[in-house]
């Protein structure tokens, strides 16, 4: 426990939970990851970049574009990408297109359950500025206000080739050590949480799920 | 189709009948008549399939218009029953005893338009909008753009140019100086 935040900042209130549920959930804040030595970290980044496991959670219409990637024509396994059924085993969260408020709640919950190091890919123009749903009553406009997004792939929808390019770019960034979303989330936790709670009005889950 | 129109006029004295196509007819009926007519159509006239219920908001006449769309698989005809509701206190008779799936439509209408269906199961549970605290979003007096800009942190747009002026400046910068 050499993490500064854990000692200085207060524990999470978990206000959304009922009184009898509070004991069931953890009230600790997320910890930021302290990099190991330079060369160890370089090796680890190489390893991380070559085994990107995707959380198979289709959050929007972009999930359609992930399916062709698995098929023989595009064959994403060539790049070490593999879909996983649960957030516990996944390292990459692909936000597939538009995100409604209802989805956002599940996405936050899944993202926080993923083990670090974790990366987020925003897929399609809806994740960037709302896309064609920019003035909708139920679609959020910018994903990076709620989750730390490492890379955006533009298009409506992007072709599988664009997706592959995006994944390869992500791999480059990981190898250079520039994907720091996990620490960003942990360090700016209060800001992210305030944004999330502004949107998700019936917050009935713990403040940090893991 | 003409037979069923005649029967409806005979039995229920329904007057404004709008024939859209040979196999698609819309009738407007009174609110309290609806369960009778639906039961009659389902049990006697073979309109067994309720395709959807939908609502249209008419703030200019202070009404909601509900449309119950029925389908007959034998004659392959559609019959739309329309009901006008008061917009200030929209309340409608629930027909979930005729088709179970109606409860889902009614939940949706309750959430999106604020129309009340007393007795419908699970009516006040949230459907797609969780924790919504504004006026129902599909009402026409709800300004969805304003709400989105207020709530969802809109990304500032890029700088845009009028293409004609922009090209003029770029190609003939000296002419601009003359002015």
Look at residue A54 and give its three-state secondary structure.
strand
Question: Worst-scoring range by mean pLDDT, A118-122, A201-205, B84-88?
Answer: A201-205
Q: How many residues are listed for chain A in this entry?
A: 210
Write out the H or E segment, with its range, that includes residue A32. Answer: none
Question: Worst-scoring range by mean pLDDT, A62-66, A165-169, A172-176, A197-201?
Answer: A62-66
CB-count exposure of residue A36 (10 Å: 0-12, 13-18, 19+): exposed
CATH number of the domain located at residue range(s) A53-199 in this protein: 3.40.50.12280
Alpha carbon distances (Å) from B169 to A36, A120, B56, B165, B175? 55, 42, 49, 6, 8
pLDDT at A39 (0 to 100): 92
For residues A141 and A104, give the distance between their C-alpha atoms in angstroms, rounded to a whole number. Answer: 11
Given an 8 Å threshold on Cβ–Cβ distance, is B155 in contact with A129?
Answer: yes
For residues B141 and B132, give the distance between their C-alpha atoms in angstroms, rounded to a whole number. Answer: 16
Tens digits of residue pLDDT in B28-53? 888 888 999 999 999 998 899 999 99
Tens digits of residue pLDDT in B137-162? 999 999 998 998 888 888 887 788 88
Size of interface A-B (CB pairs under 8 A): 58
B17 vs A184, more confident: A184
Predicted TM-score (pTM) of the model is 0.84
Instruction: Report, in this order, helix, strand and coil percent for chain B, each rounded to 5.
Output: 35, 25, 45
* Contact residues, B window 135-154, toward A, CB-based 8 Å cutoff: 137, 142, 144-145, 147-149, 151-154
In chain A, what residues touch B155 (CB-CB under 8 Å)? 128-130, 141-142
For the segment A181-188, the average pLDDT, to the nearest whole number, is 90
pLDDT at B71 (0 to 100): 94
Q: Are A103 and A95 in contact (CB under 8 A)?
A: no
A160: left (phi over 0), alpha (psi -120 to 50) or beta: alpha
Given an 8 Å threshold on Cβ–Cβ distance, is B155 in contact with A202?
Answer: no
* Contact residues, B window 103-142, toward A, CB-based 8 Å cutoff: 126, 128-133, 137, 142
Structural domains of chain B, with CATH: 2-156 (3.30.460.80)
Given an 8 Å threshold on Cβ–Cβ distance, is A101 in contact with B126?
Answer: no
pLDDT at A2 (0 to 100): 47
Tell me which residue in A135, A145, A202 faces B131 most closely, judged by beta carbons. A202
């Amino acid at each position: 426990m050499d993490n500064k935040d854990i000692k200085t900042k207060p524990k999470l209130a978990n206000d959304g939970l009922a009184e009898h549920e509070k004991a069931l959930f953890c009230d600790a804040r997320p910890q930021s990851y302290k990099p190991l030595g330079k060369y160890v970290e370089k090796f680890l980044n190489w390893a991380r970049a070559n085994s990107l496991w995707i959380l198979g959670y289709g959050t929007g219409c972009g999930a359609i574009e992930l399916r062709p990637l698995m098929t023989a024509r595009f064959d994403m396994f060539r790049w070490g990408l593999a879909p996983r059924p649960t957030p516990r085993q996944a390292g990459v969260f692909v936000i597939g297109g538009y995100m409604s408020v209802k989805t956002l709640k599940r996405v936050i919950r899944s993202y926080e359950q993923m083990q670090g190091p974790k990366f987020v890919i925003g897929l399609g123009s809806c994740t960037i500025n709302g896309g064609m749903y920019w003035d909708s009553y139920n679609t959020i406009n910018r994903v990076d206000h709620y989750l730390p997004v490492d890379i955006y792939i533009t298009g409506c929808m992007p072709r599988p080739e664009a997706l592959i390019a995006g994944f390869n770019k992500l791999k480059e960034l990981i190898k250079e050590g520039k994907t720091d979303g996990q620490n960003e989330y942990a360090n700016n936790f209060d800001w992210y949480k305030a944004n999330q709670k502004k949107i998700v009005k019936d917050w009935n889950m713990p403040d940090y799920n893991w | 189709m003409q037979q069923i129109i005649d029967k409806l006029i005979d039995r229920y004295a329904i007057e404004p009948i709008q024939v859209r196509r040979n196999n698609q007819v819309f009738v407007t009926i009174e609110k309290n008549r609806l369960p009778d007519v639906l039961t009659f159509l389902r049990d006697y006239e073979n309109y067994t399939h309720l395709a959807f219920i939908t609502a249209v908001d008419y703030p200019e006449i202070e009404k909601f218009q509900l449309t119950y769309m029925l389908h007959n698989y034998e004659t392959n005809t559609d019959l739309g029953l329309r009901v006008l509701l008061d917009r200030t206190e929209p309340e409608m008779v629930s027909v979930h005893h005729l088709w179970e799936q109606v409860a889902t439509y009614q939940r949706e209408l309750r959430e999106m338009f604020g129309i009340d269906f007393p007795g419908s199961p699970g009516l006040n549970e949230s459907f797609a909008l969780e924790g919504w605290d504004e006026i129902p979003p599909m009402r026409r007096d709800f300004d969805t753009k304003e709400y989105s800009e207020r709530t969802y942190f809109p990304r500032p747009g890029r700088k845009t140019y009028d293409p004609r002026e922009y090209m003029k400046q770029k190609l003939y910068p000296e002419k601009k100086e003359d002015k």
